Amino acid sequence: MDLLRFFTAGNVDDGKSTLIGRLLLDSNSISTDIIEILTKQSKNINANAPIDLALLTDGLRAEREQGITIDVAYKYFSSSKRKYIIADTPGHAEYTRNMFTGASTCELALILIDARQGVTEQTKRHTIIASILGIPNLIICINKMDLVEYKEIIFNQIKQDYLAFSASLNLTSVDFVPLSALLGENVVKRSEKMPWYKSQTLFEFLENIKLDDAITQNPSRFQVQYIIRPQTEEFHDYRGYAGTVLSGNFSIEDEVYIYPSEQKSRIKRIEKNQKEVSNVGEGDPIILHLHDNFDISRGSTIVKSTDVPNFSDSVDALICWMDNKPFVKGQRLLLQHNSHLVKASIKVIVASIDVHSAMELDAKESIEHNEICKITLKLSSGIAYDAYQNNRKNGAFILINENTNNTVASGVLL
């Protein structure tokens, strides 16, 4: 079954939480006991009020107020056709870093627009970040149509304004849905109040949207997380490399390369759930056994010889600076690339990206909180990587302050 990851973005009061709640409720993804609790909580606020769907994410919002670093709420549901993970990203401009993080693993963006407000600066900012991250699919949800009397002319005007603004961006697929999250119009059930809208409901778009081949057919990548060497009488010669298949697939007797040593071997055995199997795919937790006993350690990358990655100790990247303190030249950093940790330094700040226009601005000596920049990193040793747009699982990383161990930036490799 396909897994579709998507995120919601929009202004603070555009109705993101209500939309998520409506989607879960009308797709029968909420248990009856939770519905009873939500109904009771809604009545406590207002005895005559209908169920407050936004309460579904209030618990996670409270966690944010307690100081969680990554301010993204995740919800999970499934249909008979697909599994879904929703990332509810913050709407405030000062949380650009959080949206960057939440969006970086998604294949689809739901960008909400209040029908009364039209395209705003936040709409543009969220669209540009989606463009920078190469999100292949966007659905523009023009919400609160009930507050503008479901007028087609307003929907068409907002659609026209959005297309005019986004024409210069590298967007692959953009669809528009007029809806009312509060009343459930065109979310899961088709609205009778907007007969002029002939396309799919939001849920139908989610069910039918085609995942990009670049996402579903990634090259084969496996990174070692742990070396298993029991050295007991029963398992005297046992040497297994444990980890999760990042992308692609592996089979017994596949010829593989091991990085950073760049040595060649073949897969002898594959274990999954304490059983030997002949092949495995993306997301499988496995133990690999090779025909040769090479010097392999945590962070070593194993790939099919037909799917060779980039390998270098100097990489170009796009980062979002997450630390409250700005980056200063000479700062000592660590780059965490999946389970591979290497020392790193920012050698060149190539350009700063304007999140209002997507234009590249002249580079500065420092990088400020929430700023998105193109940089060149120098590493203490080479890493085996793919460009993020070609393989997200092997093209993302974080930067860590070597002195404080705090995560200071998230980034994608170019």
CATH number of the domain residue 207 falls in: 3.40.50.300
Quote the DSSP letter at residue 254: -
Lowest mean pLDDT among 30-44, 63-77, 283-297: 63-77
CB 47 within 8 A of CB 11: no
Q: In the structure encoding, which two tokens stand for residue 252, read together?
A: 């017994």
Identify whether 219 is preceded by a cis peptide bond (ω within 30 of 0): no
Amino acid at 47: A
Residue 49 CA to residue 372 CA, distance in Å, equals: 43
State the average pLDDT over residues 214-239.
Answer: 80
Distance of CA 297 to the CA centre of its chain: 28
Amino acid at 201: T
Read off the pLDDT of residues 310-360 as tens digits, 9 standing for 90 and up.
Answer: 999 999 999 989 888 999 888 999 999 999 999 999 999 999 988 777 788
Question: Residue 317 forms beta bridges with which residues?
Answer: 375, 413
State the average pLDDT over residues 188-197.
Answer: 96
Assign 58 a pLDDT band (cuts: 50, 70, 90): low
Q: For position 62, what pLDDT does the model report?
A: 45
* Same domain, residue pair 22 and 151: yes
Q: For position 293, what pLDDT does the model report?
A: 86
Burial of 356 (0-12, 13-18, 19+ CB in 10 A): exposed
In sequence order, which residues have a C-beta less than 8 Å from that of residue 137 and are 6 or more positions away?
107, 108, 109, 172, 173, 175, 209, 212
Considering 200, 216, 232, which residue would you say is the last residue of a domain? 216
State the average pLDDT over residues 138-156.
Answer: 96
In sequence order, which residues have a C-beta less than 8 Å from that of residue 78 and are 6 or more positions away?
1, 29, 84
pLDDT above 90 covers what percent of the chain?
Answer: 52
Q: For position 230, what pLDDT does the model report?
A: 80
The residue segments making up the domain with residue 111 are 2-216
Considering 304, 328, 345, which residue would you say is the last residue of a domain? 304
* Same domain, residue pair 324 and 343: yes
Q: For position 392, what pLDDT does the model report?
A: 86
Q: For position 140, what pLDDT does the model report?
A: 97
* Same domain, residue pair 87 and 210: yes
CB 54 within 8 A of CB 23: no
Q: Which residues of 155-172 are buried (b: 16+ CB within 10 A; e: fewer)?
A: beebbeebeeebeeeebe
Assign 99 a pLDDT band (cuts: 50, 70, 90): confident
Q: In the structure encoding, which two tokens stand for residue 311, read together?
A: 């390998």
Q: In the structure encoding, which two tokens stand for residue 179, read together?
A: 């809806």
Residue 409 CA to residue 137 CA, distance in Å, equals: 25
Quote the DSSP letter at residue 219: P
Lowest mean pLDDT among 83-92, 239-248, 280-289: 83-92
User: What dihedral do alpha carbons 206, 212, 213, 217 form, nearest 10°?
Assistant: -70
Read off the pLDDT of residues 30-52 as tens digits, 9 standing for 90 and up.
Answer: 656 565 655 665 555 555 555 65
Q: For position 56, what pLDDT does the model report?
A: 60
- Tell whether the model's pLDDT for residue 380 goes beyond 60: yes
- Tell whether the model's pLDDT for residue 214 goes beyond 50: no
Exposure of 397 in the CB half-sphere (CA atoms within 13 A): 30
Q: In the structure encoding, which two tokens stand for residue 39, read together?
A: 């109904």
- Tell whether the model's pLDDT for residue 158 goes beyond 90: yes
Assign 374 a pLDDT band (cuts: 50, 70, 90): very high
Q: In the structure encoding, which two tokens stand for residue 362, read together?
A: 């002249």
State the average pLDDT over residues 124-129.
Answer: 86
**Collapsing DSSP states into helix, strand and coil, what is residue 294?**
coil
Assign 247 a pLDDT band (cuts: 50, 70, 90): very high
* Same domain, residue pair 174 and 94: yes
- Per the structure, the count of domains in the chain is 3
The CATH number assigned to the domain holding 315 equals 2.40.30.10
Assign 222 a pLDDT band (cuts: 50, 70, 90): very high
Distance of CA 72 to the CA centre of its chain: 11
* Same domain, residue pair 274 and 330: no
Name the nearest CA neighbour of 30 among 64, 55, 10. 55
* Same domain, residue pair 343 and 229: no
| Length of the chain, in residues | 414
Evaluated on CA atoms 111, 320, 350, 105, the torsion sign reads: negative
* Same domain, residue pair 98 and 241: no
Considering 273, 304, 335, which residue would you say is the last residue of a domain? 304
- Tell whether the model's pLDDT for residue 252 goes beyond 90: yes
- Tell whether the model's pLDDT for residue 69 goes beyond 60: no
* Same domain, residue pair 28 and 101: yes
- Tell whether the model's pLDDT for residue 70 goes beyond 80: no
* Same domain, residue pair 295 and 349: no
* Same domain, residue pair 228 and 207: no
- Tell whether the model's pLDDT for residue 221 goes beyond 70: yes
CB 145 within 8 A of CB 155: yes
- Tell whether the model's pLDDT for residue 55 goes beyond 90: no
* Same domain, residue pair 252 and 188: no
- Tell whether the model's pLDDT for residue 292 goes beyond 60: yes
* Same domain, residue pair 186 and 81: yes
